[in-house]
Amino acid sequence: MAEPRTRYEVLRFEPPKAGKAKSFTVYFHADPISRVEAIKSGIPAAFVDEIAAEMGRSKEWLLPTLGLSTATFNRRKSESKPLSKDESERVLGIARLVGQVEAMVKESGNLAGFSAAQWVARWLEEPLPALGGRKPGELMDTAEGQSIVSNVLARAQSGAYA
């Protein structure tokens, strides 16, 4: 993968090209400082719609999963205002999680015909023994919860899933 020319180039929140699924690995592989700067600048509210569409879910499903208020989201989107730092962190967190799954599958084989976003959407709704029977989606409304969920995926990939 070619190095981006600037830190910001890695975190473009542009709509996917027609007929081409959005790749989320850029959010997973982005350097941490770039992610922090994107969070502080505020993620565009419209990015939530893009993520939900890629997941094959509605924003009405995604917003509560991320602990986002529907009214606040709709207002920010209609006013073309970015999300707050806290909201942006959670939205970027789910994009990173999808990117993590994409990267895992790409390392293991072929991504052809596989939708990491749709797989993550289904996986978030499944109770996991590694989380004490909780669904991963129940933890996606905090940065710490997202970190726990990401670590469960990493352990599963390494075979240390418990």
Mean per-residue pLDDT over the chain, rounded: 86
Q: At what angle do helices 70-78 and 46-55 cross, to 10 degrees?
A: 120
Domain boundaries, the chain: 22-158
**Model-wide pTM > 0.75:** yes
Q: Check residue 85 and give its pLDDT.
A: 96
CA 91 – CA 61 distance, rounded (Å): 13
CA 102 – CA 63 distance, rounded (Å): 22
* pLDDT level of residue 160 (50, 70, 90 thresholds): low
Q: Check residue 18 and give its pLDDT.
A: 41
Q: Check residue 107 and give its pLDDT.
A: 86
* pLDDT level of residue 158 (50, 70, 90 thresholds): confident
